[in-house]
Amino acid sequence: MTVAVKETRKLVAHEKLLIDVIKRQAGTLKKAILEGTMNSVEAGATEIDINFLAEKRIVDVLSYLGCWDGRKIRIGVSDVAAAWTDGSSFIALDRSWLKSFTLTSVGSVLGLFTTLCHEMAHDTDTAGTHNHGPEFYEKYYEITKKGSWQNPLHHVYKFSEKMDKERIETKRIQEETKEKDLQESLVAASSS
């Protein structure tokens, strides 16, 4: 006669389980994101927000600065543009272009900020082809010559400082989580 014994086990998923499942199902993370986005559109989503930790930190810090004339900063994907705008409500930064920056150097941060100023100078949609006439250059000049906190270029140092603080805080939280997980696994191992 066989007797059933109730047993409780704590299962822990490997940290790379999700990425492995995604790669096996969709082939690549990029295809999985594309498929998820297409499914969201088909389901009638009016907004799709896909953020990764570093990108989220960049968007959060840029948004915190509040010097973009009310435009939201977004991350997107483009085969042809580093950045684009609808001319009034948002500025999108290409994910691959953004990854090419080392945002710990002043030169990279200035490159990011001058690109954002460039997009602010557009008052029409730049998703297709567009021209840079005299009006564009005048507006770009006005944006970069504004006084103090209205000028995005005045925020370069503040951006770098805030990014450093956010990076340190993220690492602190990750270390605390690891420490807690380790303590929990030690307690579990000693009680079994």
Residue 68 has which token pair? Answer: 């973009």
Mean pLDDT over the full length of the chain:
85
Q: What pairs with residue 84 in β-bridges?
A: 92
**Structure pTM?**
0.65
As a whole number, mean pLDDT of residues 46-52 equals 65
For residue 88, what pLDDT band results from cuts at 50, 70 and 90?
very high
| Element housing 79 (H / E) | none
pLDDT average, residue stretch 101-111: 85
Tokens 């499942």 appear where? 21
Domain ranges for the chain: 14-48, 51-191
Over the stretch 4-18, which tens digit does the pLDDT of each residue have? 777 777 777 777 777
Instruction: Give the number of other Cβ atoms within 10 Å of residue 94's Cβ.
Output: 19
Amino acid residing at 120: M
What residues have CB less than 8 Å from 63, skipping those under 6 apart?
A: 72, 73
